[in-house]
Amino acid sequence: MTTSAPAATGHAGSHVKANRPNIVAVGTIIWLSSELMFFAALFAIYFTTRAVQGPEVWAASTEMLNIKFAAINTTVLVLSSVTCQFGVFAAERFQPARTGSLLKFSKWGMREWFALTFLMGAFFIGGQIYEYAALVGEGLSLSSRAYGSVFYLTTGFHGLHVTGGLIAFLMVMVRVFKAREFGHRQATTAIVVSYYWHFVDIVWIALFSAIYLIK
């Protein structure tokens, strides 16, 4: 027998846990598969240009990268997947907002976890902009050399995808705020957005490894 959700959450008593979306999930996975092909093409461009330029030229260009800073930025983005998933867990139990103190993370709802995820994603984008500014200051621009072109092309398109994810988080939080009741539709939206965010994080791990770690 299922038990009714606490009154503090403001959910219908029959709501216990959201089922994973079926048709919506399939559609999302198909769309992400097309995005995967897009990033595969970017990887192909990157490694092809690297092979044409030669290891010496490439090594000299990669020396300009601040690997330590990029690693910190990457860690923040990866951890945002963890906070995003906690938000999904809250959505699955139909808990849109916290039921206790802001300092009690165990009482947080979907809004709080998604808001934290948004801030971490925004931190990543801010770090990427800072890195771009530093590299341009050192003479590495989009048109300065082949390495600059593929670097800004690959990381820039990923940054646009992260920005799209941030917009999606805002839309979900506003939608939930306006909804009179948090139900299966809202939970499904949160789950689908998490699929996209996890995908973006996984792609960045691959990009970070290829660009910053493989000399």
pLDDT in tens, 100-152: 888 888 899 999 999 999 999 999 999 999 999 999 999 999 888 899 999 99
Q: Where are the alpha helices (DSSP H) in 97-183?
A: 110-137, 146-178
User: Quick check: 204 and 160 in contact, CB under 8 A?
Assistant: no
Q: How far is CA 150 from the centre of its chain?
A: 21
| Tens digit of each residue's pLDDT (9 = 90 or more) over 183-196 | 888 888 899 999 99
Q: Is the dihedral of CA 106, 107, 109, 114 positive or negative?
A: negative
The answer to whether the CB of 134 falls within 8 A of the CB of 90 is: no
pLDDT per residue as tens digits for the range 61-111: 888 999 999 999 999 999 999 999 999 999 999 998 888 888 888 899 999
User: Is 2 a residue whose pLDDT tops 70?
Assistant: no
State the pTM of this model: 0.84
Distance CA 129, CA 191 (A): 29
**96: CB partners within 8 A, 6+ apart:** 9, 10, 90, 109, 110, 111, 176, 179, 182, 186
Contact present, 200 and 165 (Cβ < 8 Å): yes
Q: Domains, the chain, ranges and CATH?
A: 16-213 (1.20.120.80)
Residue 16 pLDDT exceeds 80: no
